[in-house]
Structure 1
Amino acid sequence: MQAKAADWYTGASEPKPSKDWIVAVDSSATATSTGAEFASVTGTVALDQSLNVSGTRLRIETLAGTYKYDSSTTGERIRGDQAGVAVLGGYQWIAPRSALSVYGGVDVRDWRFSGSEVGGPSAGVRQGLKTAVEYYASPSDRLMLFAYGSYSTIYNAYYGRVKLGLAALGPVYVGPELAALGDDFYRQWRIGGHVTGLQLGGLQFGVSAGYQIDKSGSGGAYGSLDIRAAY
């Protein structure tokens, strides 16, 4: 099984294409029992040839999320809401059983806070730089490894996810996952399991669930749904 252009969020290799795809759209949504919610939509375009071969890429990442944290000054519980968009350029190297992508570009985010931090100096629109790296490998027909990491200079925002999977049924993989995300105000860590590579028509799905804990020590369950489409 060859690793073609990998889904940056589910980590699943694409099914064998009937034509050369030039656009991939990845959507993801995560909810936790502690009230944190995150969603993202990412579009990746091959600027030369197709997504199935090495080449330059244009990527647009959008995100929205809400979370809670304890104020360092008043101790009160603060709700933070953020939305953002990043325009990134990069290159993807496709090998017979692996794919590596590196991106960099401009990031714009809007933060809103509740309580004593409404209208504070941290709120509002910020601009910065963002980098992202993703890697997918299938060293054998029964094993997959996926890793994604990003960092933004805006409040040191970061996200990382690693998944290991064993082939369970055809292109479907099952295994553990680890994730971490945060910024200057909030941090969250996740450990759980995933099912990756489910197919429904032209869509590819991944689901995961497990335990998460945040900076304040609040722990609970999380669940994620990832969807990919290529054109």
Structure 2
Amino acid sequence: MVCGSAVGQDIADADFSVEPASGSSSFWSPLFDTRIKERRAFDFLSGGMPDRLMYFGGVDASHWSLGAYGGLQWAPAGLNKDGFILRFFLSENLERYTTGTRSDYTQISRAAILPGYLMRSGNLEIQLLAGLDMEADYFYHDQRRSRLRAMLGARGTMDVWWEPTRELMLQYAISGTTIDTGYTTRIAAGWRLFDLFWIGPEAALSNDYFSQQTRIGGHLTGLRTGPYEWSFAAGHVRDNFERQGVYARFGIVMRPPRAPFFEN
């Protein structure tokens, strides 16, 4: 997220079985094993133990931009159950535009308050949210602020996380705003590696008042250390100004640990 958070199941749904190796097919067969319809209770790659509140943040950079984001999500019934959710999101971005001998900078501040609903069915999770969107753009020329542009609008977001087999996941996110009809969408696939994290390809497309970007790269998601869950991504980015280069993204999610045999 921060797109498509995933959470663990109740202890009653735990599956501790270990299948024996069976010749040359033992490595590949788990990738396509669809018999597991529920997530494992102690599956750290799916978010660890259930909780009501999680915090998230990260940094995103390319050759001509630098951004940071953060926020929190609250689920009164618990992040492992269907029900109401509330997400609060903040971001700050700095974009550089160079034409000949002139360099312009734009500082873009965004905030959103998004109530919504979380739906889970087996190994599929969908989050639907919609609410208030706010944006302030500061334009700089020769290191001096030339003008301010502030707007209010509405934003809608959908996050999907699906584990079609024991070892594979698919993640999709789309978010759109009425401010300048901006949108961003991302799709990623992942392979569970060493039972420690997901790794795989990703692709993203975004459009706003300033530019349209296309990204193709790879990601590592769900590397967990205590209550922290880390993600990394890098790849190639191109925009409608014919600029292209490398992008990198780092993200962190914090879910406070909970005792496994007690409800929230």
TM class, shorter-length: 0.7 to 0.9
User: Counterpart of 1:50 in 2: which secondary structure?
Assistant: coil
Which residue identity is paired with 1:84? R
Q: Could you tell me which of 54, 65, 70 is aligned with 2:82?
A: 54
User: Counterpart of 2:96 in 1: which secondary structure?
Assistant: strand
Residue 43 (1) aligns with residue 72 (2): yes
Q: How does 1:83-162 map to 2 (within 5 A)?
A: 83-115=109-141, 119-120=146-147, 123-162=148-187
Provide the TM-score with structure 2 as the length reference: 0.76
Residue 3 (structure 1) aligns with: none
Q: Cα distance, 1:182 vs. partner?
A: 2.8
Q: Considering only CA atoms, is the larger Rg found in Structure 1 or Structure 2?
A: 2
* Distance (whole Å) between structure 2 residues aligned to residue 156 and residue 88 of structure 1: 17
Residue 13 (structure 1) aligns with: 6
* Distance (whole Å) between structure 1 residues aligned to residue 241 and residue 166 of structure 2: 41
Aligned length: 218
Q: Could you tell me which of 207, 214, 220 is aligned with 1:189?
A: 214
Which residue identity is paired with 1:133? M
Which residue identity is paired with 1:23? L
User: Counterpart of 2:180 in 1: which secondary structure?
Assistant: coil
Q: Cα distance, 1:19 vs. partner?
A: 5.3
Q: Cα distance, 1:75 vs. partner?
A: 11
Instruction: Give the 3 Å change call, closer, same or farther, for CA 10–125 of structure 1 in structure 2.
Output: closer
Residue 229 (structure 2) aligns with: 204
Instruction: Give the 3 Å change call, closer, same or farther, for CA 143–63 of structure 1 in structure 2.
Output: same
Instruction: Give the 3 Å change call, closer, same or farther, for CA 130–70 of structure 1 in structure 2.
Output: farther
Q: Cα distance, 1:124 vs. partner?
A: 2.4
Percent identical among aligned pairs is 23
* Distance (whole Å) between structure 2 residues aligned to residue 52 and residue 101 of structure 1: 12
* Distance (whole Å) between structure 1 residues aligned to residue 5 and residue 193 of structure 2: 13
Residue 26 (1) aligns with residue 56 (2): yes
User: Counterpart of 1:25 in 2: which secondary structure?
Assistant: strand
Q: Cα distance, 1:85 vs. partner?
A: 1.0
Residue 78 (1) aligns with residue 107 (2): no
* Distance (whole Å) between structure 2 residues aligned to residue 69 and residue 215 of structure 1: 12
* Distance (whole Å) between structure 1 residues aligned to residue 107 and residue 240 of structure 2: 16
Partner deviation per Cα, 1:108-158 (whole Å, 9 max, x = no partner)? 1110112399545xx322111111110000011111001111111112222
* Distance (whole Å) between structure 2 residues aligned to residue 214 and residue 114 of structure 1: 21
Residue 65 (1) aligns with residue 93 (2): yes
User: Counterpart of 1:114 in 2: which secondary structure?
Assistant: strand
Residue 4 (structure 1) aligns with: none
Partner deviation per Cα, 1:141-196 (whole Å, 9 max, x = no partner)? 11100111111111222222111011111141111001122312222211100111
Provide the TM-score with structure 1 as the length reference: 0.86
* Distance (whole Å) between structure 2 residues aligned to residue 38 and residue 160 of structure 1: 17
Which residue identity is paired with 1:205? W
Q: Cα distance, 1:217 vs. partner?
A: 0.9
Whether the aligned pair in 2 keeps the contact of 1:10 and 1:206 (CA below 8 Å) is: no
Whether the aligned pair in 2 keeps the contact of 1:69 and 1:185 (CA below 8 Å) is: no
Q: Which protein has the bigger strand share?
A: 1
RMSD: 2.4
* Distance (whole Å) between structure 2 residues aligned to residue 152 and residue 75 of structure 1: 34
Q: Which protein has the bigger helix share?
A: 2
* Distance (whole Å) between structure 1 residues aligned to residue 141 and residue 126 of structure 2: 43
Whether the aligned pair in 2 keeps the contact of 1:69 and 1:186 (CA below 8 Å) is: no
User: Counterpart of 1:155 in 2: which secondary structure?
Assistant: helix
